[in-house]
């Protein structure tokens, strides 16, 4: 039951073979049994989850059907507000008072009949990385508990891959949805900038922050985006349409030339290009320019804006942050106004490059990172892994970008690819991703959580 798709859960609700309360009880039991080794949860309000499940079940029984997400429990990254809960950001630095209202995305999910299912672990204030000096332990990768699950939406990726919930909210400032999605073998979308409201979400860097859906398959992801945007449009409407004739730009140079790359990643990327060709897409190699320009520009803006958010506390009580977050936030103090302005000007140029590519191609294919997830307690390896990330370009540009599974390496760790499309073209992205997913014959779950 714990690895059912949201679509299948909905079918069972409506046929009467499963109730939201029974489903939630099953998940609560799994969390109690398994999360002690995964550390995906910071807090689970069992009473609220049961009450929300009972409410959804009663509504469905009376024929009051709110749609695909009615009765679906959704994990919430703990920088996203839930009314009545404290938002901790996985840190000692937080407001101890309970939130008075839901974040806009949580409110939208409630309107669709979904409900929160726990607060999930993250890198401290969405930046710090895995750390061992925080109030709660860091989430681990369910495919290998000695490895990091990616971040900063670490608990969201880990919990989904381990079958502790069917959907979760993540945030993404430099790849924080797509990193854990890729490393945990699930689907994560960073939507177009401001597609989903950030009201009620603790900021990291205002001009780069995105909020988006994390699920185990592409259709579920599109349905979650529908719910998170109050049904603004049907993002699943193109799923199932053929992709023959679609033009895909392949930024192979990014992982082969610009960042450290493992052979398994390079092989997976070429195999992904061939899979798209076998489905009728035209895949052509292009060069968007050296990735270092995108990465350094993203970091300069992120560091400056993040320090602006945290400056007061950093000056008054820096020791309350974990060592890694403190070091990273402090870096922003050394970004000058001139540096920040130059970075914003460079951002305009780099966005124009990606716009030009996506004006003449339906999508851009690239790796999410050149390296596979490393040991969670190896700072040098973590630094190398972060240095191989290829995700920040799309935070700069605001284009929708998705991480989705692309097989497994020799160690049994998930491989993934990244797809991006033009601004406000998520429906097209889901169409392409769903076709890619449907051609994947290697479906498995982490052995320790199966």
The string of pLDDT tens digits covering residues 60-69 is 999 999 999 9
Catalytic residue among 138, 153, 154, 176: 176
**Catalytic member of 91, 138, 152, 425:** 152
Q: pLDDT-derived band of residue 280, with 50, 70 and 90 as boundaries? A: very high
Strand (E) positions, 224-293? 247-250, 282-285
d(CA 281, CA 277): 5
d(CA 312, CA 326): 13
Catalytic residue among 77, 119, 252, 351: 77
- Residue 308 belongs to some domain of the structure: no
- pLDDT given for residue 424 in this prediction: 98
Residue 132 lies in a domain: yes
The sheet with strand 41-43 has its strands ordered as 41-43, 115-120, 73-77, 167-172, 210-215, 187-190, 401-408, 414-420, 363-366, 247-250, 282-285
Give the pLDDT mean for 246-265. Answer: 98
Mean pLDDT of 176-197: 98
Domain membership flag for residue 189: yes
Which domain does 232 fall in, by range? 6-293+335-449
Confidence of residue 370 (pLDDT cuts 50, 70, 90): very high
Distances (CA, A) of 441 to 1, 217, 224, 347, 371: 21, 14, 24, 39, 23
Say whether 392 sits in a helix, a strand or coil.
Answer: helix
Confidence bin at 341 (pLDDT 50/70/90): very high
Average pLDDT, integer, range 13-34: 98
- The pLDDT of residue 441 is 87
Flag whether 325 is in a domain: no
Give catalytic status of residue 62 as yes or no. Answer: no
Hey, is 161 helix, strand or coil? Answer: helix
| Residue 375 pLDDT greater than 90, yes or no | yes
At 368 the three-state DSSP class reads coil
d(CA 414, CA 32): 25
Known catalytic residue at 77: yes
Q: Is 316 exposed, middle or buried (0-12, 13-18, 19+ CB in 10 A)?
A: exposed
Residue 301 lies in a domain: no
Residue 170 has a pLDDT of 98
| Residue 14, domain CATH | 3.90.1300.10
Residue 75 lies in a domain: yes
Show the tokens assigned to 225: 């985006």
- Per-residue pLDDT band for 7 (boundaries 50, 70, 90) equals very high
Q: Give residues with Cβ within 8 angstroms of 343, minimum separation 6.
A: 297, 300, 301, 304
Mean pLDDT, residues 258-287: 98
How far, in Å, CA of 282 to CA of 97, rounded? 54
Q: Does position 334 have pLDDT exceeding 90, yes or no?
A: yes
Span 48-56, average pLDDT: 98
- CA nearest 397: which of 376, 437, 424? 424
Q: Compute CA distances 188 → 52, 261, 348, whole Å.
A: 25, 22, 26
Look at residue 110 in the predicted model and tell me its pLDDT.
98
User: Can you tell me the mean pLDDT for 312-330?
Assistant: 97
From CA 354, how far away is CA 363, in angstroms rounded? Answer: 10
Segments in 165-262 forming alpha helices (H): 178-184, 218-228, 252-253
Instruction: Kindly tell me if the per-residue pLDDT of 128 is higher than 90.
Output: no
Confidence of residue 156 (pLDDT cuts 50, 70, 90): very high
**Within-domain flag for 257:** yes
Query: Is 104 in contact with 111 (CB distance < 8 Å)?
Result: no
Q: How many residues does the chain have?
A: 450
- Number of domains present in the structure of the chain: 1
**Report field, pTM of the whole predicted structure over 0.85:** yes
pLDDT-derived band at 95 (thresholds 50, 70, 90) equals very high
Average pLDDT, the chain: 98
In contact, 109 and 230? CB cutoff 8 Å? no
In a domain, 369, yes or no: yes
């Amino acid at each position: 039951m714990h690895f059912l798709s949201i679509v299948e859960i909905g079918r069972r609700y409506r046929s009467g073979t499963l109730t939201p309360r029974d489903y939630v009880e099953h998940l609560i039991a799994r969390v109690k049994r398994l999360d002690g080794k995964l550390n995906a949860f910071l807090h689970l309000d069992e009473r609220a989850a049961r009450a929300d499940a009972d409410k959804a079940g009663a509504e469905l029984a009376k024929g009051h059907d709110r749609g695909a997400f009615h009765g679906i429990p959704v994990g919430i990254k703990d920088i996203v507000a839930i009314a009545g809960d404290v938002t901790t950001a996985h840190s000692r630095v937080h407001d101890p008072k309970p939130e008075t209202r839901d974040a806009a995305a949580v409110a939208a999910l409630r309107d669709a009949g979904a409900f929160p299912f726990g607060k999930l672990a993250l890198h401290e204030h969405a930046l710090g990385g895995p750390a061992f000096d925080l109030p709660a332990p860091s989430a681990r990768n369910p495919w290998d508990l000695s490895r990091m699950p990616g971040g900063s939406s670490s608990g969201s990726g880990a919990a989904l891959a381990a079958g502790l919930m069917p959907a979760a909210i993540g945030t993404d400032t430099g790849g924080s949805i797509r990193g854990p999605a890729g490393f945990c073998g699930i689907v994560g979308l960073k939507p177009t900038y401001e597609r989903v409201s950030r009201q009620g979400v603790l900021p990291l860097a205002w001009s780069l922050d995105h909020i988006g859906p994390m699920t185990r398959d592409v259709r579920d992801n599109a349905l979650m985006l529908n719910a998170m945007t109050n049904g603004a449009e049907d993002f699943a409407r193109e799923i199932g349409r053929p992709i023959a004739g679609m033009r895909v730009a392949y930024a192979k140079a990014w992982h082969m030339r610009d960042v450290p790359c493992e052979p398994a990643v390079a092989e997976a990327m070429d195999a992904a290009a061939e899979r798209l060709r076998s489905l009728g897409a035209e895949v052509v190699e292009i060069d968007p320019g050296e990735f270092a320009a995108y990465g350094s520009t993203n970091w300069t803006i992120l560091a400056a804006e993040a320090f602006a958010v945290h400056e007061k506390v950093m000056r008054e009580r820096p020791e309350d942050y974990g060592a890694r977050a403190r070091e990273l936030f402090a870096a922003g103090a050394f970004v000058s106004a001139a540096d920040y302005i130059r970075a914003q000007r460079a951002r305009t140029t780099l966005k124009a490059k990606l716009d030009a590519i996506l004006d003449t191609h339906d999508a851009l294919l690239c790796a999410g990172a050149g390296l596979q997830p490393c040991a969670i307690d190896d700072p040098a390896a973590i630094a190398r892994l972060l240095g191989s990330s290829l995700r920040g370009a799309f935070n700069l540009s605001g284009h929708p970008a998705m991480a989705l599974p692309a097989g497994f390496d020799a160690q049994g760790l998930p491989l993934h690819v990244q797809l991006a499309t033009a601004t406000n073209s998520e429906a097209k992205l889901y169409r392409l991703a769903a076709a890619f997913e449907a051609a994947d014959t290697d479906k498995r779950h982490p052995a320790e959580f199966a």
